[in-house]
Structure formats: C-alpha cells, structure tokens
Amino acid sequence: MPGVKIVHCDCDCFYASIEMRDDPGLRGRPLAVGGRPETRGVVATCNYEARKFGIHSAMSSARALRLCPELLIIPPAMEKYRAASAQIMEIYRDYTELVEPLSLDEAYLDVTDVQRLQGSATLIAREIRQRVAAAVGITVSAGVAPNKFVAKIASDWNKPDGLFVVRPQDVDAFVAALPVAKLHGVGKVTGARLKALGVETCADLRTWEPEQLREHFGTFGERLYELSRGIDRRLVSPSRIRKSISVEQTFAADLPTLESCQARLRGMLDQLDARVRRADAQGQIQKLFVKLRFSDFNRTTAEGGGSALDEEQLRILLNTAFRRNPRPVRLMGLGVRLGEADGQLALFGNQPAAEEPDTL
C-alpha cells in the first residue's frame, strides 16, 4: 500500500496518569490502579515509578506489593477514564475519520489523505500530542509508519511522552533488527518455539522459506513471513459508523476575498466527489456543508440539506459562511453528512443554510 501514513497513539500509563493529573500529590511515588490484594486483585496499570520495581499490568496486586511495599494501589474510576478517552478520541477525529480505537487509551489513525500540516504524518502526530497534553492533561506517545504493525512498535520506542517515525525507506532495516517477540501474535509459547529453532530476530526469521514456516506454525507461518519483512496489509477500521465525508485545504497564503475562495471550490469538489464514490456513499447524502477557518483563527460551518453533491448549493453555503466573518481565509473544507440510504432523502429537498457560526 504505497503512500500510506499510519499513526499509532498510546497514552502513557493512562489510568495512573489521570489519577496523577487529578491529584498532583501522587506524582513521584509508586502508584498502581487496580484491585486490592486481599481480593485477588490485579494491576490494571501503573506509573513509571512503579515500573522501576518490575511491576506491570496484569500482575497480581499481592505480588506488586511484595516487589514494592510502598506501592499505593487505588481502585479504578472508569467513568473518569472513559470521559478522558472520549476527549482524546475527539481530538483524533478532528484530523481523520479513520480512527480505530483498540482500547480507551490506544488507537490507530490513517492520515494518508489528510491535508493539514502539509499532509505530514509526523507533524500531525506532534500536534495531536500537544493538544492532548493541553486539553486532557496527560501525555501520549506516538509512532508513525507506513503500516499498523510498524507504527505500533514505533509508538513504544520513545516512551513515555515520545514520538518515533519509521520512514518507508527505513522499514526494512528497522524490522530486521527487531526481536521476534515484538511480532504481533508471538506470545511466550511461539517465542519459545522460535528460540528453540535458533530464531531470535526478524533477520533470523527471514532466512526461513514460507513452506518451512507453515510446516512449523501452520497458517500463522505465513503471517510470520510477512511481518518479519515489515509487511502488514491490515486497514485502519473505524469502530463507529461514518457520519460524514469531507475534504479540506490549508492555504500557504490566506485567501483574501470571497471570489478567491470560490475559485478554489471546483477543485475541492472534485476531490470530495472522488471520496464519496470511493466510500460508495452517493445514496447516503443528507446534507452539504462548507467550513471556513479565518485569519483570526475563528471558524464557522454553513450547512444545507441535499441528497447529492451540488456545486451551486456549495457556492451559496460558501457565501453564507464567508459573510459571517469577512476576513482572509486560511482553511476551507467541503463535506457531506451521511444517513441511511432509504430512498426518502429527496423528499426533504434543499433547506436553508444554518445561521449560527461555530466559533472557537
């Protein structure tokens, strides 16, 4: 998949970070979030001070206390963690709809088609980390790579509060040096079998032919063959139903007038049409919208009902949005809101554009 840009974001000791955020007195001391030792509780997560003692998630709380008698174990507050997770995921989705949460504190983002920040996945990951720190008060580590497998490993490379980028031309050398234990799906049993066969790194694994790997590991042998070469064809799969499709462009120089904005609309509409067709969503369009961000960083969105892409209506919406704050425009976006394809959308016709600006 040439040109693919994947970001893997992973919050640093998420539950513990939220607790330290809310009670700064907890910082600097060994802390775990989990169940009590007398109830056979386990550690859900712990901070880095606790990890120095060898404590890790899924360890029994009783063993954790034996390793560190000063360890403070507090019960999880899931509602608080879910609220923080929702904030974080909303920041991710401000960049792309292709967000695949793996848990409350971890997600893949496909930013291949994102135009913000010059389309740089590295700059996007950096800005996301800054925004989460400012808005949520915790740190996120991120990995950037051409596929999910390498991006996930990269996010762990500079933890905590780190960013690591593996460029396409560096994937081969990066993966070759990895221990096979880093491969997705290689647990203790498979890892021990590989070690017994003299395989400790991906470079070692590359000396094996697919047939040999299938003989020893069945169908998983084929996966091992690909992963050891940095090949991962899995797509980022959002867990929620897509509600909109959009394109946006940040301009190197602000567009000074409505006419200069209108001149850019045709090209952006062609991009939007291509995305709608790629998603096979032509029959799901319920609304059209235009988003503008001005030179003073205020933004507004004008919406109107419609069951198909209509250049004239988008020009009307652009006119409506621009006149709310007639300043030079630094970013323009076009999009559609989606619903169920039920054959009834045309009954609604075109509705007036929304009047209230969405100002930050």
Q: What is the pLDDT of residues 66-101, one digit of tens each?
A: 999 999 999 999 999 999 999 999 999 999 999 999
Alpha carbon of 96 to those of 36, 48, 111, 177, 202: distances in Å?
40, 31, 6, 32, 32
Q: Are residues 189 and 145 in the same domain?
A: no
CA atoms within 13 Å, Cβ hemisphere of 148: 17
Tell whether 232 is covered by a domain.
no
Amino acid type, 317? L
Provide the strand spans (E) within the chain: 6-11, 31-34, 43-46, 72-74, 99-103, 106-110, 140-145, 163-165, 244-255, 285-294, 299-305, 329-338
pLDDT value of position 285: 92
Task: Compute the average pLDDT of residues 296-305.
Answer: 90
Q: Are residues 202 and 222 in the same domain?
A: yes
Q: Are residues 159 and 204 in the same domain?
A: no
Q: How many domains does the chain have?
A: 4
pLDDT value of position 357: 34
Q: Are residues 100 and 179 in the same domain?
A: no
Domain coverage including residue 21: 14-77
Whichever domain contains 307, its CATH number is 3.30.1490.100
Task: Compute the average pLDDT of residues 170-193.
Answer: 91
Catalytic residues, which ones? Answer: 106
Q: Are residues 260 and 328 in the same domain?
A: yes
Whichever domain contains 183, its CATH number is 1.10.150.20
pLDDT value of position 197: 93
Residue 203 has pLDDT above 90, yes or no: yes
Is 273 assigned a ligand-binding role in the annotation? no
Whichever domain contains 136, its CATH number is 3.30.70.270
Tell whether 341 is covered by a domain.
yes
Q: Are residues 189 and 111 in the same domain?
A: no
Tell whether 189 is covered by a domain.
yes
Is 23 assigned a ligand-binding role in the annotation? no
Tell whether 357 is covered by a domain.
no
Amino acid type, 262? Q
Task: Compute the average pLDDT of residues 284-303.
Answer: 92
Q: Are residues 254 and 325 in the same domain?
A: yes
Tell whether 234 is covered by a domain.
no
Q: What is d(CA 234, CA 217) in angstroms, rounded to the nearest whole number? A: 21
Tell whether 359 is covered by a domain.
no
pLDDT value of position 283: 86
Q: Are residues 43 and 85 in the same domain?
A: no
Q: Are residues 265 and 328 in the same domain?
A: yes
Q: Are residues 259 and 338 in the same domain?
A: yes
DSSP class of residue 90 equals H
Tell whether 358 is covered by a domain.
no
Give the list of residues 6+ apart from residue 229 with CB closer than 8 angstroms, or none.
Answer: 172, 175, 202, 206
Whichever domain contains 69, its CATH number is 3.40.1170.60
Q: Are residues 85 and 163 in the same domain?
A: yes
Q: What is d(CA 211, CA 193) in angstroms, rounded to the nearest whole number? A: 17
Residue 353 has pLDDT above 70, yes or no: no
pLDDT value of position 352: 34
Regarding beta strands 244-255 and 329-338, do their DSSP bridges make them parallel or antiparallel, or are they unpaired?
antiparallel
Tell whether 295 is covered by a domain.
yes
Q: Are residues 57 and 126 in the same domain?
A: no
Alpha carbon of 61 to those of 12, 38, 46: distances in Å?
20, 9, 11
